[in-house]
Every structure is written in C-alpha cells, then in structure tokens.
Amino acid sequence: MTERTPLLHYRLSTSVNESESRPPPVGPAVEPHPGSPRERTTPQRQPKKLPTFFGVVIPTLLSMFSVVVFLRIGFVVGQCGLYQAIAMFLVAYFIISMTVLSVCAISTNGALDAGGAYYMISRALGPEFGGSIGIMFFLANVCGSALFVLGLVEAVVATFGVPEDGTVANMSYQVLPSGYWWSLLYATTIALLCLLVCLVGAHIYAKTTFIIFLVVMFVLVTIFISFFAVRPRTINLPSSATGNRSGPMFPTTANFTGFKLDTLQGNLFADYTVDYTTGTMMTFATVFAVMFNGCTGIMAGSNMSGDLKNPSYSIPRGTITAVIFTFIIYNLLSVLVACSCDRVLLQRDYSFLRDINVWQPFVTIGVYSSTLSAAMSNLIGASRILYALARDDLFGKVLSPAKKTSHSGNPWVSVLISWFLVQLVLFSGKLNTIASIVTIFFLLVYAAVDLACLALEWASAPNFRPTFRYFTWHTCVLGIVGCAIMMFLINAIYASASIAFMLLLLLLIHYLSPTSSWGYISQALIFHQVRKYLLMLDVRKDHVKFWRPQILLMVSNPRSSVGLITFINDIKKSGLYVLGHVQLGDLNKLPSDPLQSQYDSWLCLVDHLNIKAFVNLTLADSVRHGVQHLLFISGLGGMRPNTLVLGFYDDCLPKDKLIDSFLSTSQSTDQFGPSQDFEQPPLFHFASLRGSSDRQGYDEFGNGKVLGPQEYVAIIADAMKMLKNVVLARYFNMFDRALVLSPQSSSPGMGAVYVDVWPVNLLRPDSCSYVDTCSLFLLQLACILNMVRAWRKATLRLFLCVESGRSVRGSEEKLGQLLKELRIKAQVYPVPWDQQVALHWQRQGEWSKKQTSQSPDTNKEEKKLRTDEEEENEDDYVNSFPSNATRLSDDYLSAVNMLILDQSHPPPAVRFLYLPRPPADTRRYSAYLNQLELLTRDLGPTLLIHGVTPVITTDL
C-alpha cells in the first residue's frame, strides 16, 4: 500500500452527545487524498438531507410514471395487444430488475457520493469506463428531460391547441396555436420553468415533487375508479388522427365500451399501424422503445445520492419499492384498458384517459404534473452527473466551469449547461422521434452498471462485501445480455453508434486524464490471470479497496507444519501465497546449488495438500538473512508478499503430520496409484524431525538450534521495518482442518465452529484501542477467514475488554457500529478485566517505589520527562511494544492467559490475538518472547498478528 491510501479514523471514545448531534454516518470518516476532488469540495458540501421517501421513492416513481402511464399506455396496448404488452413489460422489468440488483449491491458497499450511477461505475471500473459511461448517462438524462418536455407539450396541445388542419376548434378552451414552432415555444417555456426550479436546489425540488406525487397518486386513483364508474360512451378522436385530404381517412369516433369480453378479445393480439403523431409505421421494437422510457426512471433516486441522508440505505429500498409499485400499476392499467376500450380508440387517441375520466381535468392535471416532474428529475440528474464529471477532472479544463456551485452547494453552472443541451434536443419536435435514442442511452448505462457489479464480484476483493446480498454474477450477466439484445433490436445503427462513441471517449480519457486515486478494478481482475498479465500489474495503482493478503509462510520442515500450511491457504483470499524455506550454507563452498534438487519435493507437497501456493527457497548463512532475502525478492510487480507468517518459537515437540496426511489421503483416494503404495513419494524426501531428547530451542517446525530466540525476534523486527505485516502461529502442529470443519463438529449436538478475536494490545492494558491499524488488520483477517466457503458457518466472537469504571454499553455500541460500517458480522462479548489491569498497575507501583528508593533526587525529573513523552506519543504508542516491557509481571500475563481461557466456552477453532512490536532495545528480546509465550500458553491454535498497513475501508 502506498502512502496515498486513505486511513480509517474511528474512535470508540467519541462521546454519545457528539454522535447524536451529527447525522447518521454512512461509514467511518475516510481521509481524502491530497488534492483529490473530495478534499477540495469538502468545505462546500452540505449535510445530506433527503430521506428515502422524498429522495428516492418519489423521484423514481414520478420518473417511471411520466409519459407512459398517462399518454402511452393505450398506445402500447393498441399497437401490440394485451399479450405482447404484458410481455414487453416483463422483458423491460426483467432487464431493469437485474440492473437494480447491481445498483443495490454497489450502493451498499460503502459511502456513496454525488454522481449516482456515474459515481458507482467510475469508482468500481476506474476513470476510463466511469468517464465514458458518465458522459453517456449525462446525455441520456438530457435527452430524457427533453423527451418528457415534449410529452408535456403534446398533452398541452392536445387539450388546448387549435387543430393544425384549419378546422374549427371543438371546444372553447382550444385557443393555443399549433404547429412546429409554436410547440417549440411551449417546450422552451416549460424547460425554463424546470430550469428555475433546479436552480433553486434539491430542497425546493423535493418539495415540488412531493406535491406532484400527491397529485399523480390522486389522479391514478380516479383513473382506476373511472373504469368502473363511467358508463360506455362514444369519444371524438383528435383531428390529426382522423386523416386529411391528402391521406387516408380514419374513423372520427371510437367507443369506450366498459368491461366487455368482445372488447378484450379484440385487444389481445398485435395490430401494428402508422403512428398518427409521426406518420411512422410501428413495430415491436419501436413500440418497446417508447414503452421502455417508462422504466428508465430507476436511476432517479441514485442521481440524488449526493443529497441523501444515507444513500447506501435509501437507494436499494427506495428503488425496489418504486419498481414493484410501477410494475403492478402498468399491468393493471393494461388489463383494464384492453377490457374496456376499442382498438381504434387506443391507436388514434393517446389522451383517451382524459375523455373517460370521471372529471376530465383530473387526467390533464396528472399528465402535466408527472411529465413536468420527470423533466425536472432528469434535468437535475444530468446536472449532478455533469458536476461530478467536472469535479473529477477527467476532461481537464473543458468542464472546469461546471464545478462552480452556489453557497448552498447547488451546481448552478451544470444546471445551465444541461438546460442548454435540453433546449437543443427540443428541436427534434416529437416525443416518439427521440424515444429510441433515449432508450439506447439508458440501456447502455444499465449494462455498464451490471458490468461494474460483475467485475467487482469476479475480482473477489475482500472489501467488496455489500450488505445487499440478493445478487450473483449470473444476474449481472443476464442484465448485460438483456440490455445488449434490446439495444440492437430497437435500432442497430443507433446502438452501434452509441457503443463506438463510448469506446472513443474511453480511449480519450485513458490517454489524456490524470491518474486517479479511486482504485482500478482491472488490477483486481488481472490478479486472477497473473500468469498471463503479470506485467500489467502496477504497484502505483494499488488501492486499499482491493487489498488482499499476500503471504510468505516460512517453513523449516513441512512434516510438522501441515496444519498451518493448510490454514494459511484459507486466509489468503485468492492472494499470493508463497512457501518460503531457508537452507543454511555458503554457495562458494558447495559444488552445486543444493536447492535445485528439493523443488520437486516442495511442488509435490503443494499438489498433495491441494493448496494454491508458490515455492521460494533460498540459501543463506543464517535464517535471519535468508528471511530478509525472501522478503526482498519474492514476487514480481504487484504480486509481492505483504505478510510474513512464522511458527512460534517454543520447545513444543514437533509431530510428523505429513505421514498421517499422506496415509489418509492414499487410503481414501489412492492418490499415488497402486504401483506406488509401498514406495516413498518425493514429498517424503524432507528431513526427519528431531526427537524429544534434542528439542530444546526448536520452533514448532522442527527448526533446531540454528535459530536462537534473539535471532527469531530480530526477524520479526526486520519484517516490520520493511513494512510487512507479521503473523506468529502457535500450536498449529495440532490443528486438523478436516476435523475442525467436519459436519459432526458443527452439528447442534457437538457445537458450532468459533473464531475468537481479541483486537487489543493485551501487553498494554493502560492504552487499549480497538481501532488502530493493527486492530483493523486483525479484524480484516478474521473476516477474510469467515468469507471462505469452508469457514462461512463459523461464528466470529469479538471480545471487548472493558473496565467497570467505563461505559460498557457505550463501548459495545460503538464497536458494534464499527462492525456494521465495515460489513463484518461478529458477536461482541464485553469482558471485564479489572483484576488483570489491577495486577498491571500494582507492578507499576512497585517499580515506581523501587526507582524512588534508588534515586530520589532524579526521580521527579525523570518522571516528568517520562510523563511528557508518554502523553506526546499516546496515539502512536498503541502500535508499539511498551518501553516498560520489563515491568509486565508474569502474574499479570498468566492472569490474562487465564482470562482468555475462561472466555473460550465452547473452545474456538482458532484465536486471533494482537501482536505488539518488539522492543527497540535488543536486550529485551528474550523478555518479549517470554511474555508472548506466557500470554499464549495452552491456548490452542493461535495467531499473533501485527498489521502495519491500512487494509480496510468504507469507500465505494
């Protein structure tokens, strides 16, 4: 990880009053990158204010209810028939449902900022895809806003307009002049009204849409009532739909029959005719393009992400609610229309709902309100996307004016630019003319959202764990395929041109835009194809979101380390896994490299244990130098070890687990074949383990007196100096993965599998913190283990050490909130340890008295200097081994050891403990090692973990 990696800042000590005075946080605060857009705009950003209903449900409903529900529901049924109309809605909602699942997954994977779908795609796929799709989404919203404005103009002219053929108006209120230029004037006026509302900001927009929402819901209720309350009647068709002197003549009237079986039978099947508003012959594809515009509002709530209180909470719930509601309404209306209206009425009068309503102005008001709201929604959505694009500097100075905002944070320049482009699109003149373009743009964006979610899922990054779990890579693929097919069915030329334009933008951004700090999904994906794309990995693009453990496990003799090798294979999370081995020797004094003949045995070991690991052997004059060599040279490019795993240094007698493993495997699977039953396979070429009479000074790998305690601790210190995370594994010589994870061990009668986590420096009870870098690294490794398929049923138990004088409930709630923000499922157990802490302070008091008696004159000065130094370094001190290491008594360590054992009922499969730094004074290495030994004595399989780099984030 580079120094640019954002650090996670979260203090459990934050006061309750302070937390209550702030809005609910989406995640722990993340320090922005120096010079990043988020950092530059922080002073202007206002707290997010809109809740789920006002910020997501209402805009999404109104966008989806705009043109189709009032002006085109009859058009769809009249052209396609009821069967094909329902099929169209099923296809359309299947596509958008797949996309909604992807949107929900991405939006619940961290803090979501302004920009909606563009922000999701850009932060997931990187700036190239994000910028190109962002432009396409911006254009889609611009064209969508123009489409809804034209739909409103069409409704106004149909109601108040003078017939274009010069005939006398049927009604006294038909006073507005008709024609292309008059319609353009009306559209311009409506667009100006939308501009004024959007310039005021999101607040007035939310209030306006709420009023419109009430109006639309009321009108919908009256429409449903009208189908049952209004008697059959004959309706005059619009003059433009009855033909003229130069064209064929059509009926001038049509019937609203009420519910009749004959009417339903006449509307069941398709009957495509010429659209009377454009003169174009309709087909399934062209009707679907118009109908699908009623489904393109699913991003209306996502577009407001920068103005929501809690986007990750509101977007999934609000969007799904709106989608289900609109799907039900559309299908009910289709059935009612097909049962009660003649086919001619549906084909030749798009405003027929007004004529059959209990009071005609109701539908007129509903049409005006819904289309006006949808136009405003798309305009404000386009402006927010443009603002996000400009803020991210993907196009340099071209979009720099769009960064300007008002004092309230409203990007007014982006609103003006968006309105200007809407005005240009209005010159197209007719709604059905631009419907295909708008639909293709939105389908392309939806496919990109599905692609972003698919890439994150396939990358299998540890930090991609959205709280919304009702999606798989299959739903993403189905969404992409569905969008692509419908794009080319609607208009192959427009679809090809849109894709070509997007690819051109992608190349432009790739070569011209500066390097971003969002993280590149390509780096995570390439990791799986490292043998083919190793040179493409770039360490400069490393990002905390895609961090994964890359482990170097030092193995002296695999015979005693089978349990640890298989366990570390589980926590690598598709990361680099290297088995390292140091052989002592001097190549100058040897006739050949002794390591070459050992590779076959090691590779055979990897195959036999069925692990995904590389092997790296080295020759050195000491174990310490050998480990340094491996840390320096292991890996290539972005695939380099970031975590060193060592067996614990103690006098436990090593056991040969390799023979047992081989015998059980060969008996069950006959792995080596019948001809080798009595032959020694290559993996048995490893040296035999030492006996009990010569075990003093060995680690659990059978590493003999070639490695002393001083050198062992020096290896740990060296790794930390090289910014490598360090893990010490103890008692894994007795770990049996198959036994621990067997169905019998997790049955109700035998008890569940538990993983215990103690994320606190137990050697520093006077400065316990659960949120420093090391503690978060501890949580990340435990979470990764829990994400492995075989360990998913395991329960994480997180122990919170508290003293009675402190707020136990408050600390527990804050830790629980932290786990929720990090999307980690664990059971928190408060553990009182007043007696253990008292032992610690008792030792400090004895030490202080001893110092006073030895040097009473200098004690005050030394005490003052020590106090000042400790207060100054308090924040950094939790990551380091305390300078007063010698003052930790054996009684205290034994008491903590007993505390851990007492809390282990039922006993866990493995424990995760906090590993403090070795002392700076090398003379205290032995004391340090002795304290670790006392702390972990008889605990069973235990990992002592020290993390030096941030590995977890709440960023998207």
Asked if the structure places residue 24 within a domain, the reply is no
Domain of residue 189 covers 58-237+252-512
Identify whether residues 488 and 574 lie together within a single domain.
no
36-40, 111-115, 565-569, 655-659: which range is least confident on average? 36-40
Asked if the structure places residue 524 within a domain, the reply is no
Residue 68 pLDDT exceeds 80: no
Higher model confidence: residue 799 or residue 208?
A: 799
Neighbours of 515 (CB within 10 A): 10
pLDDT at 331: 92
Q: What is the DSSP letter of 822?
A: T
Higher model confidence: residue 749 or residue 9?
A: 749
Look up residue 297 and give its amino acid: G
Residue 280 pLDDT exceeds 90: no
Contact status, residue 272 vs residue 282, Cβ threshold 8 Å: yes
pLDDT at 27: 37
Q: Which helix (H) or strand (E) holds 946?
A: strand 942-946
Round to whole Å and give the CA distance between 364 and 362: 5
pLDDT at 41: 43
Mean of the per-residue pLDDT values of the chain: 77
pLDDT at 676: 41
Identify whether residues 561 and 446 lie together within a single domain.
no
Identify whether residues 274 and 385 lie together within a single domain.
yes
Residue 680 pLDDT exceeds 70: no
Residue 630 pLDDT exceeds 90: yes
Higher model confidence: residue 319 or residue 120?
A: 319
Identify whether residues 462 and 554 lie together within a single domain.
no
Residue 910 is part of a domain; what is its CATH number? 3.40.50
Asked if the structure places residue 350 within a domain, the reply is yes
Asked if the structure places residue 247 within a domain, the reply is no
Model pLDDT for residues 852-907, shown as the tens digit of each residue = 444 444 444 444 444 444 444 444 434 444 444 446 788 888 888 898 888 878 88
Round to whole Å and give the CA distance between 49 and 313: 13
Confidence band for 726, pLDDT divided at 50, 70 and 90: very high
pLDDT at 62: 80
Identify whether residues 644 and 762 lie together within a single domain.
no
Model pLDDT for residues 398-435, shown as the tens digit of each residue = 777 888 887 777 788 888 999 999 999 888 767 666 77
Round to whole Å and give the CA distance between 695 and 650: 9
3-class DSSP assignment, residue 331: helix
Confidence band for 66, pLDDT divided at 50, 70 and 90: low
Residue 309 is part of a domain; what is its CATH number? 1.20.1740.10
pLDDT at 880: 44
Q: Parallel, antiparallel, or unpaired for β 233-236 and 253-256?
A: antiparallel
Identify whether residues 486 and 434 lie together within a single domain.
yes
Supply 565's token pair.
Answer: 């090798």
Identify whether residues 622 and 711 lie together within a single domain.
yes
**Which of the listed ranges 116-125, 331-340, 466-475 does the model predict with the highest average pLDDT?**
331-340
Per-position DSSP letters for 249-287, written without gaps between them:
---SEEEE--S-HHHHHHTSS----B-TTT-PBP-HHHH
Asked if the structure places residue 942 within a domain, the reply is yes
Q: What percent of the chain has pLDDT over 90?
A: 16
pLDDT at 432: 66
Domain count, the chain: 3
* 910 φ/ψ angles, rounded to the nearest 5 degrees: -155, 155
Higher model confidence: residue 559 or residue 679?
A: 559
Asked if the structure places residue 557 within a domain, the reply is yes
Domain edge (last residue) among 729, 763, 783 = 729
| Mean pLDDT (whole number) for 524-540 | 65
Residue with tokens 């389908």: 443
Residue 596 pLDDT exceeds 50: yes
Identify whether residues 766 and 817 lie together within a single domain.
yes
Of 358, 381, 54, 48, nearest to 211 by C-alpha is: 54
Conformational region of residue 13, where left means phi above 0, alpha means psi within -120 to 50, and beta covers everything else: alpha
The torsion of the CA quartet 204, 209, 215, 221, rounded to 10 degrees, works out to -160
Q: Parallel, antiparallel, or unpaired for β 577-584 and 725-730?
A: unpaired
Residue 31 pLDDT exceeds 80: no
Identify whether residues 707 and 836 lie together within a single domain.
no
| Mean pLDDT (whole number) for 337-355 | 87
Confidence band for 668, pLDDT divided at 50, 70 and 90: very low
Residue 235 pLDDT exceeds 70: yes
pLDDT at 772: 81
Model pLDDT for residues 141-151, shown as the tens digit of each residue = 898 888 888 88
Asked if the structure places residue 245 within a domain, the reply is no
Confidence band for 945, pLDDT divided at 50, 70 and 90: very high
Residue 562 is part of a domain; what is its CATH number? 3.40.50.620
Higher model confidence: residue 438 or residue 872?
A: 438
